[in-house]
């Protein structure tokens, strides 16, 4: 491959230098990185356009379905599944929520400490471990594992103040972000679905 040694190139300090001052390996690496990033950005832009198109089609479908049944459009739609008649193509719409605990977890923690103190030896090991997880910060970042909180509130703890603790746990969990995602599936035989690869690392081609 012939290396282009004409022109200038920006350096790490922000100034420019003639390309001829750099070695062939450095120029080859520089040009390849820029070429691949430019292609990746173009691919990313196409992906954004494709994603918007899929959600536009989904919105058309939801509006048409409401119209069929005389329903009014209102609020955000949630999960959905759209399937062809031979059951060889399927679209799933999932809702992903990012949740975290807020300041009201303090009330739940106080109640949990009181329950742990009251029950002591009478507390089953699994329940003791579960409740103590509520008292611990998640990875030391000042928040708590909402998965642990959700699991804890489903537990049956034989203590009169446990219902109050459950209410405090429920109040402490709030959704900070909610988004819908579309997944695509195809099958050679009815219902034997395989997901259509959409992530760059899952798409065929390239090198093994």
Whether pLDDT at 122 is above 50: yes
8-state DSSP, 144: -
Confidence of residue 140 (pLDDT cuts 50, 70, 90): very low
How much is the pLDDT for 151? 78
d(CA 106, CA 104): 5
Higher pLDDT, 82 or 110: 82
Per-residue pLDDT, 108? 81
Query: What six digits make up the tokens of 3?
Result: 């290396």
Q: β-strands 194-195, 173-186: how paired? A: antiparallel
> Which of 26-40, 55-69, 148-162, 183-197 shows the lowest mean pLDDT across its residues?
148-162
What does the pLDDT average to over 88-109?
A: 82
Strand order in the sheet with 89-101: 80-83, 89-101, 173-186, 194-195
In 21-148, which ranges are E strands?
80-83, 89-101
Task: State the first-to-last Cα distance of the chain, in angstroms, to the nearest integer.
Answer: 24
- Between 162-172 and 146-153, two packed helices, what is the crossing angle to 10 degrees? 150
How does residue 207 score in pLDDT terms, banded at 50, 70 and 90?
low
* C-alpha distances in Å from residue 81, one per residue of 78, 84, 113: 10, 10, 44
pTM to 2 decimals? 0.62
Higher local confidence (pLDDT), 130 or 158:
158
pLDDT computed for residue 208 by the predictor? 53
Local confidence band at 112 (pLDDT 50, 70, 90 cut-offs): confident
Closest CA to 134 of 142, 123, 122, 145: 145
pLDDT of residue 205: 61
pLDDT > 70? residue 47: yes
Of residues 151 and 38, more confidence is placed in 38
Q: Is there a contact between 18 and 30 (Cβ–Cβ < 8 Å)? A: no
């Amino acid at each position: 491959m012939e290396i282009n040694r004409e022109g200038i190139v920006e350096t790490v300090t922000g100034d420019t230098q003639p390309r001829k001052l750099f070695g062939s390996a450095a120029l080859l690496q520089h040009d390849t990185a820029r070429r691949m990033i430019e292609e990746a950005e173009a691919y990313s832009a196409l992906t954004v356009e494709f994603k918007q198109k899929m959600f536009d089609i989904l919105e058309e479908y939801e509006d048409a379905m409401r119209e069929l049944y005389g329903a009014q459009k209102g609020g955000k739609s949630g999960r959905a599944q759209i399937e062809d008649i031979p059951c060889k193509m399927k679209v799933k719409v999932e809702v992903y929520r990012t949740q975290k605990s807020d300041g009201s977890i303090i009330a739940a923690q106080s109640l949990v400490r009181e329950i742990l103190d009251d029950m002591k030896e009478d507390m089953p090991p699994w329940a003791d471990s579960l409740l103590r997880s509520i008292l611990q910060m998640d990875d030391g970042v000042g928040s708590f594992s909402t998965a642990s909180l959700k699991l804890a509130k489903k537990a049956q703890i034989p203590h009169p103040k446990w219902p109050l603790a459950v209410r405090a746990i429920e109040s402490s969990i709030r959704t900070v972000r909610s988004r819908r995602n579309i997944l695509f599936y195809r099958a050679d035989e009815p219902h034997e679905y395989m997901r259509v690869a959409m992530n760059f690392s899952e798409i065929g081609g390239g090198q093994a």
